[in-house]
Structures are given as structure tokens and as C-alpha cells.
């Protein structure tokens, strides 16, 4: 099926993904996992909230953990280029009939909170408190040694509609999967920052968060994390991998935090900044699409996701049959 042409002059300028707010049921338990096992650095904490960043990040946070009764994803955050882009974003969302308003957020400047057409809560800001660099403070490196947040992947009940909307915001498709008869999109990977993706969409019950991903230096970091999780009580939280995706070429591992939020640890994708970069098409039934080595993903990878706050999930617009591990 045809995919939308890139939009090089979007209504406002999104620079990249920035952060995610996750609701967790035991803040101390989540802190131990995200800090001691994954290796994120705590930048601020209160009785009900913890802010963390990865080792290359200068912004105050890329993960916010909030104490709550039930696990959920509360917002996906994006950085825009200027304060004027926030005003343009407000006009854009309201012109589309979508909820949007300015809100106060700790450590962030003026922040626009909105909802995309499928119901995903998103927010945009131009400035966040900056912190001193720590990427050369090697004594702080622990766990998987995460360098930076890399992307979000969300289940969508209508991937075509999700792609059309984010394409209109200047997100460009790098790779995509079609359904069996090539009439609909089954999944798509879209970027702003020049990697394979800032935002991806996967066919399924949605909207729900599929995973948030962090970039690490080498596949050996992923092996170290597996050894650590297997010997510190988290072997049951290892869901899929290690492996190499056909899509994106990334070496990957998927793990679950104590509340079941899925996290991908990720390296080795490629540069996509050229304006004439041509998207790569994949067949849904190609066994190398999921994993270059041919291994299928478990059923949980297609079914388990984190609900978005205040947004009921819907059944997908059509049925599809990806390859699932027995």
C-alpha cells in the first residue's frame, strides 16, 4: 500500500522524543530496578515521584516514576525547537479538534499537554532544566549502562491513522510492515532525530504503550544485563532476546520492570537524516522481519502492553496473523 510522503515543513518543529511518565505501584521497588539494575541515574525524588536520566543525557530527566494504585503510562514527552513552536502546536491541536492546554510541570519550561487522535497523552516543551554532563564519570556506570532514551513503541488499533497523524507532524517513515494482502499498515517506524525511530506503532489492542527503549554502547552491555538480572531475582522479567532485529538492524533485549512496563535495550541501528532516505518495506510473514536470525517473538510481545492513563483501549481495525513462537 502507498505510505504518506514526508512532510518537510510541519506545523511545528518536534526535535526528538524526550521522556515518559510511568505510574508504578511500589516506588521503592521500582527505584531499585531502574537505578541499580538498569543503571539510570536519579536526579530528584520526593515521597511520590522519582526522576531519572541516562548517562549521556543533559536534560533533567527522561524517566519519571510516580506512585499509583495501578501501573499505567501517563504521558509521552517530546522536545520542540522553540517557544514559538509550542504556540503553533496549541493552534494545530485545537484546529484538529484535539484536547490541548498549557500545564505546569516540574523542571520543565512551558509545557503543552495534548492528546493525539487515537488517545495517547503527549506533551511538548522547548526547555528543561539542564544538568552537568556525567557521560565521562565512569564510576557511575552500572547495570546495562544506558546512554540515552531512544524511542517509544505503541500499540495502535489503527496504524494507518497513527502514521498519517505523526507524518503530518514531520515524523518520517524509515521502515514499515504491511498486512498479508498489502492493503493496510501493520507497523511503522518513524523518526525526527535521525535514527530509525522516535515513535513506532504496532498493530494491536490500543492505544497502549508497547515499550520504551534505551540506547547502550554495545551488545556486550546487554549480555552483562542478562547476567545481572539472572542472578539478582529478575530472571522472570527477561521477556525476549537477546537478538538482532531485521527491522532497524538493532541488537535488542526486552525486559519487564516490576510493574510489567516493557523496556527495550537497544544498539546498532543506522543513520536516516538524508531527506531522500527511502523507507524499507517488510512482509508480515517474513521470519527475518522480527529477528534477523529467524527466531519468532513470544505471544506476550504481541498481547502485553501498558494502558495509557484515562484512555480505554480498542480492538484493532482488522485481524492479522504475525509469526508467533510456539
Q: What is the pLDDT of residue 1?
A: 64
Domain assignments of the chain as residue spans, ordered by start: 14-127, 144-307
| pLDDT tens column, 160-200 | 999 999 999 999 999 999 998 899 999 999 999 999 999 99
Q: What is the pLDDT of residue 2?
A: 76
CATH architecture label of 144-307: Roll (3.10)
pTM: 0.97
Per-residue pLDDT of the chain (326 residues; tens, 9 = 90+): 679 999 999 999 999 999 999 999 999 999 999 999 999 999 999 889 999 999 999 999 999 999 999 999 999 999 999 999 999 999 999 999 999 999 999 999 999 999 999 999 999 999 999 999 999 999 999 999 999 999 999 999 999 999 999 999 999 999 999 998 899 999 999 999 999 999 999 999 999 999 999 999 999 999 999 999 999 999 999 999 999 999 999 999 999 999 999 999 999 999 999 999 999 999 999 999 999 999 999 999 999 999 999 999 999 999 999 999 97
How far is 53 from 38, CA to CA, in rounded Å?
Answer: 11
Q: What is the pLDDT of residue 301?
A: 96
Answer whether 14-127 and 144-307 agree in fold.
Answer: yes
Q: What is the pLDDT of residue 295?
A: 92
HEC profile of the chain: CCCCCCCCCCCCCEEEEEEEEEEECCHHHHHHHHHHHCCCEEEEECCCEEEEECCCCCECCCEEEEECCCCEEEEEEEEECCHHHHHHHHHHHHHCCCCEEEECCCCECCEEEEECCCCCEEEEECCECECCCCCCCHHHCCCCCCCEEEEEEEEECCHHHHHHHHHHCCCEEEEEEECCCCCCEEEEEEECCCCCCCEEEEECCECEEEEEEEECCCHHHHHHHHHHHHCCCCHHHEEEEEEECCHHHCEEEEEECCCCCEEEEEECCCCCCCCCCCCEEEECCCHHHHCCCCCCECHHHHHCCEEECCCCCECCCCCCCCCECC
Q: What is the pLDDT of residue 47?
A: 87
CATH annotation of 14-127: 3.10.180.10
| pLDDT tens column, 40-72 | 999 999 889 999 999 999 999 999 999 999 999
Amino acid at each position: 500500500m502507498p505510505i504518506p510522503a514526508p512532510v518537510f515543513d510541519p506545523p511545528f518543529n518536534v526535535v526528538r522524543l524526550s521522556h515518559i511518565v510511568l505510574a508504578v505501584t511500589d516506588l521503592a521497588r521500582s527505584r531499585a530496578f531502574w537505578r541499580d539494575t538498569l543503571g539510570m541515574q536519579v536526579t530528584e525524588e520526593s515521597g511520590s515521584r522519582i526522576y531519572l536520566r541516562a548517562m549521556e543525557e543533559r536534560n533533567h530527566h527522561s524517566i519519571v516514576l510516580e506512585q499509583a494504585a495501578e501501573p499505567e503510562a501517563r504521558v509521552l514527552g517530546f522536545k520542540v525547537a522553540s517557544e514559538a513552536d509550542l504556540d503553533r502546536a496549541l493552534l494545530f491541536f485545537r484546529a484538529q479538534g484535539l484536547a490541548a492546554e498549557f500545564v505546569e510541570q516540574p523542571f520543565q519550561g512551558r509545557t503543552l499537554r495534548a492528546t493525539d487522535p487515537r488517545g495517547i497523552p503527549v506533551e511538548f516543551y522547548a526547555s528543561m532544566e539542564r544538568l552537568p554532563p556525567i557521560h565521562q564519570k565512569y564510576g557511575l556506570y552500572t547495570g546495562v549502562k544506558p546512554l540515552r532514551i531512544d524511542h517509544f513503541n505503541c500499540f495502535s488499533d489503527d496504524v494507518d491513522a497513527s502514521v498519517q497523524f505523526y507524518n503530518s507532524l514531520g515524523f518520517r517513515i524509515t521502515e514499515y510492515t504491511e498486512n498479508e494482502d498489502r492493503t493496510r499498515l501493520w507497523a511503522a517506524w518513524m523518526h525526527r532525530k535521525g535514527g530509525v525511530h522516535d515513535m513506532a506503532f504496532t498493530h494491536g489492542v490500543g492505544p497502549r504503550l508497547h515499550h520504551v527503549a534505551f540506547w547502550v554502547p554495545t551488545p556486550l552491555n546487554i549480555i552483562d544485563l542478562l547476567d545481572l538480572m539472572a542472578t539478582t531475582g529478575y530472571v522472570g522479567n527477561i521477556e525476549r532476546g537477546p537478538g538482532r532485529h531485521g527491522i532497524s538492524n538493532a541488537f535488542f533485549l526486552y525486559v519487564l520492570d516490576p510493574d510489567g512496563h516493557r523496556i527495550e535495550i537497544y544498539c546498532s541501528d543506522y543513520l536516516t537524516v538524508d531527506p531522500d532516505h527511502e523507507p524499507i518495506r517488510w512482509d508480515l510473514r517474513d521470519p527475518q522481519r522480527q529477528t534477523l536470525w529467524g527466531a519468532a517473538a513470544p505471544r506476550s510481545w504481541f498481547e502485553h502492553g501498558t494502558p495509557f492513563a484515562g484512555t480505554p483501549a480498542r480492538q484493532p481495525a482488522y485481524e492479522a496473523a504475525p509469526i508467533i513462537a510456539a
